C-alpha cells in the first residue's frame, strides 16, 4: 500500500485529516503523520491530508460518540511524537467495531487514558500554580502577566479558564511554546516568549505575608508537600522562595514551639484519684462566655444563658441549645421553641412569666454536610455545666421546675440514669421546690408516628397545667417549715 503523509498541528487539523483518511479507507500503518515544526499549537492554518485531491473528502466522517471524541481531544494535548498516529489508530479500530480499544486493558486504550490523565494533571497544576503579577498602571495593557512552563499543549484551555474568571481584566500568559493575550473581550495567540522578568507587584507582599502566617511548622510534612506541589513548579511561584527558610526554621525549633502551644490547649486525660489527694477545685468563671470547664465551647458559636424574669415562679430546663439557639444566643427559639409556644398557649401560660434555660449551655453537634446535627451531651459535660444551673436556681428561687427531657432531669437530680416515663408529670419535692418531669418538645417533633407526636404534645401541655396548679398549693419549703 502506498504510504500517505498527513499533517496535524492541532486537534482540529488532525480531525480534518482523519475524516478524509477514514473516508478513503487508509489504514493506520499506511499513514505517516507529521507535526509541522513551524506551526506549533497556535497555528491558524489547519491542514488536511497532504494531497489536494483528499480535501474533497474532508467533510466525510464516521459516527463517533462524544465521550470517545472528548478522550481523543484530551489525549491530543499530550506532547509525544507519535500522538497523531496513536489517535488515528484508536479511531480506526473503533470505527472497525473494536470497542475494546477504549478499555484500559487494551494496549492502545491504556496509553490513551494515560495521556489524558497526564494532561488533566498538568491542567490542574497550572490552575493551582500559575501566578499573575500586576504591572504598574502607567505601563498599560495587559494589566497582569504570568510565566508558566506546562508539560503539554494546554495553554489555550488554561487561557480560556482564566478569561472566564478575570472578566475585563487584561492578562498575558507566556510559555516557552507560545503565549496567550486576553484583551478583555477576546483571546489572541502569540509566539513563544522569553521568561518574564521580575515585576514589582504591590499586592505580592500581602500574599507573602499571608503565606507565612498560615505555614504551620508543627504539621510540616516535606514529602507530602513536594507530592502536591512538586519542586519543579517552585521557580514559578513567588511564595516558593519562602519555603526553604520556613522548613529550616521548623527544623531548628519552630515546630517544637508550635506543638507546645497546641499541647497547652488540650484537655488532657482524666485520672481517677482519691478525693483527699485531689487538688482544690478551681473557681468557677464569673462570666458564662468565659467558661472552659468542658470542650463544648470550642465548636459552639456562643454560650446560651437562660432568659426570663428574676422573680419567675416557674423555671423550665431543657437539654441544650439547638442550632438556631446557638446562633441567636437565646433558648427555645428554634422548631422546639415553636412547639413549646403552642403548648403554652394550650395551657394558658404566658411565656414571659417563665424562666427558660438549659442544663448544658453550649451546643453539642456533629457536622453532616452543611448541617450541624444535635448530639446528646455526655455525663461529664452535664456535670461541668451544673454549677451554672445551680446558680440560676439560687438566684431565681423558682417554686416549680419543669425538666424537659432526660438530660435536664439527670442534671437536676444529680443522677446518671433516670426513668423519665415513670416520673412523667408526677411532681416530686427536690431541694425545697416542686420538680415535674416531661418530654422535650424536640422529642414530640422527632417521633415518627402522628399519634405518638400528639401524645407527647399533650404530656407537655399537662406539665404546664400541673405547674400552674402547684403554685396554688403550699411550696415544699412551706410544708417543711410547718412540719418543723
Confidence of residue 211 (pLDDT cuts 50, 70, 90): confident
- 219 and 329 in a single domain? The answer is no
Query: Which of 481, 342, 357, 333 lies closest to 412 in space, CA to CA?
Result: 357
- Residue 257, pLDDT > 60, answer no
Identify the domain boundary among 99, 124, 149: 124
Residue 84 contacts by C-beta under 8 Å, 6 or more apart in sequence?
6, 8, 14, 33, 35, 76
| Domain match, 137 and 120 both | no
CA-closest candidate to residue 305, choices 324, 323, 325, 285: 325
Residue 279 inside a domain? The answer is no
Separation in Å, CA 243 to CA 202, 221, 430: 21, 12, 64
> For the chain, what percent of residues have pLDDT higher than 70?
84
Q: Quick one: 171 and 120 in the same domain?
A: no
**Residue 117 in grid coordinates:** 490523565
Shared domain for 27 and 164, answered yes or no, is no
Report the range of poorest mean pLDDT among 3-12, 90-99, 297-306, 365-374: 3-12
| Strand arrangement, sheet containing 314-318 | 354-358, 314-318, 400-404, 433-438, 428-430
Residues 89 and 184 in one domain: no
* Distance linking the first and last C-alpha atoms of the chain: 121
Q: Is 276 a domain residue?
A: no
400, part of any domain: yes
Co-location of 134 and 102 in the same domain: no
Average pLDDT over residues 286-315: 91
Backbone angles phi, psi at 189, to 5 degrees: -85, 145
Full DSSP string of 376-432: PPPHHHHHHHHHHHHHHHHHH--SEEEEESHHHHHHHHT-S---HHHHBT--EEETT
Residue 275 has pLDDT above 70, yes or no: no
Q: Give the pLDDT of residue 80.
A: 93
Whether 50 shows a pLDDT value over 60: the answer reads no
Residues of the chain with pLDDT > 90, as a percent, come to 56
Same domain, 386 and 468: yes
Higher pLDDT, 272 or 328: 328
Let me know whether 402 and 384 are in one domain.
yes
Backbone angles phi, psi at 54, to 5 degrees: -75, -20
End position of a domain, from candidates 263, 279, 314: 263
Q: Identify whether residues 328 and 433 lie together within a single domain.
A: yes
268 in any annotated domain? no
pLDDT, one tens digit per residue, over 74-87 is 999 999 999 999 99
For the chain, how many structural domains are there in total?
4
CA dist 23 and 15 (Å) reads 12
* Residue 271 domain-assigned (yes or no): no
Instruction: Tell me, yes or no, whether 136 and 165 share the same domain.
Output: yes
Q: Which of 78, 105, 124 represents a domain boundary (last residue)?
A: 124
Is 141 within the bounds of a domain? Answer: yes
Give the ranges where 254-317 is alpha helix by DSSP (H): 255-264
Q: Is residue 14 part of a domain?
A: yes
DSSP state letters, 69-129: HHHHHHHTTS--TTHHHHHHHHHHHHHTT-GGGGSTTSHHHHHHHHHHHHHHHHHHHHHHH
The whole-model pTM stands at: 0.49
Kindly state whether residue 407 falls inside one of the protein's structural domains. yes
CATH number at residue 324: 3.40.470.10
In angstroms, the Cα distances linking 152 to 12, 40, 231, 474 are 17, 12, 18, 88
Domain that holds residue 119: 4-124
3-state DSSP call for residue 284?
A: coil
329: closest CA among 295, 306, 308, 312?
306
Same domain, 100 and 156: no
Contact 349, 400 (CB under 8 A): no
Is 50 exceeded by the pLDDT of residue 26? yes
**87, 233: one domain:** no
Q: How confident is the model at residue 69 (pLDDT cuts 50, 70, 90)?
A: very high
Amino acid at each position: 500500500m502506498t504510504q500517505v503523509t498527513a499533517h496535524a498541528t492541532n486537534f482540529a487539523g488532525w480531525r480534518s485529516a482523519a475524516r478524509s483518511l477514514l473516508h478513503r479507507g487508509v489504514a493506520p500503518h499506511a499513514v505517516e503523520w507529521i507535526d509541522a515544526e513551524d506551526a506549533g499549537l497556535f497555528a491558524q492554518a489547519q491542514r488536511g491530508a497532504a494531497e489536494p485531491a483528499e480535501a474533497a473528502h474532508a467533510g466525510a466522517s464516521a459516527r463517533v460518540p462524544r465521550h470517545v471524541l472528548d478522550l481523543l481531544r484530551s489525549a491530543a494535548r499530550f506532547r509525544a511524537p507519535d500522538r497523531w498516529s496513536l489517535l488515528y489508530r484508536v479511531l480506526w479500530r473503533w470505527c472497525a467495531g473494536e470497542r475494546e480499544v477504549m478499555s484500559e486493558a487494551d494496549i492502545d486504550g491504556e496509553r490513551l487514558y494515560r495521556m489524558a490523565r497526564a494532561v488533566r494533571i498538568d491542567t490542574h497544576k497550572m490552575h493551582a500554580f500559575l501566578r499573575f503579577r500586576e504591572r504598574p498602571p502607567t505601563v498599560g495593557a495587559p494589566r497582569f502577566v504570568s510565566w508558566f512552563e506546562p508539560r503539554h499543549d494546554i495553554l489555550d484551555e488554561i487561557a480560556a479558564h482564566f478569561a472566564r474568571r478575570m472578566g475585563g481584566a487584561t492578562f498575558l500568559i507566556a510559555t516557552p511554546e507560545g503565549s496567550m493575550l486576553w484583551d478583555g473581550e477576546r483571546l489572541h495567540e502569540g509566539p513563544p516568549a522569553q521568561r518574564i522578568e521580575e515585576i514589582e507587584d504591590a499586592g505580592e507582599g500581602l500574599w507573602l505575608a499571608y503565606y507565612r502566617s498560615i505555614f504551620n511548622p508543627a504539621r510540616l510534612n516535606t514529602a507530602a508537600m513536594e507530592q502536591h506541589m512538586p519542586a519543579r513548579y517552585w521557580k514559578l511561584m513567588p511564595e516558593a522562595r519562602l519555603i526553604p527558610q520556613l522548613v529550616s526554621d521548623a527544623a531548628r525549633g519552630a515546630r517544637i514551639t508550635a506543638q507546645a502551644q497546641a499541647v497547652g490547649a488540650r484537655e488532657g486525660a482524666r485520672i481517677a484519684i482519691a478525693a483527699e489527694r485531689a487538688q482544690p477545685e478551681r473557681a468557677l468563671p464569673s462570666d458564662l462566655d468565659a467558661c472552659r470547664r468542658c470542650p463544648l465551647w470550642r465548636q459552639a458559636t456562643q454560650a446560651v444563658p437562660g432568659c426570663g424574669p428574676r422573680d419567675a415562679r416557674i423555671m423550665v430546663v431543657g437539654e441544650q441549645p439547638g442550632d438556631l439557639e446557638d446562633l441567636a444566643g437565646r433558648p427555645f427559639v428554634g422548631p422546639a421553641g415553636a412547639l413549646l409556644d403552642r403548648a403554652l398557649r394550650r395551657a394558658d401560660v404566658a411565656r414571659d412569666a417563665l424562666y427558660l434555660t438549659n442544663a448544658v449551655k453550649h451546643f453539642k453537634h456533629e457536622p453532616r454536610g452543611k448541617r450541624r446535627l444535635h448530639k446528646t451531651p455526655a455525663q461529664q459535660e452535664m456535670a461541668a455545666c451544673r454549677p451554672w444551673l445551680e446558680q440560676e436556681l439560687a438566684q431565681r428561687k423558682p417554686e416549680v421546675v419543669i425538666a424537659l427531657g432526660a438530660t435536664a432531669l439527670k442534671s437536676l437530680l444529680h443522677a446518671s440514669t433516670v426513668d423519665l416515663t415513670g416520673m412523667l408529670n408526677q411532681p416530686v419535692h427536690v431541694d425545697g421546690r416542686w420538680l415535674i418531669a416531661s418530654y422535650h418538645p424536640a422529642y414530640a417533633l422527632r417521633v415518627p408516628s402522628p399519634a405518638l407526636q400528639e401524645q407527647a404534645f399533650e404530656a407537655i401541655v399537662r406539665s404546664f397545667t400541673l405547674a400552674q396548679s402547684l403554685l396554688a398549693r403550699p411550696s415544699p419549703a412551706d410544708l417543711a417549715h410547718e412540719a418543723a
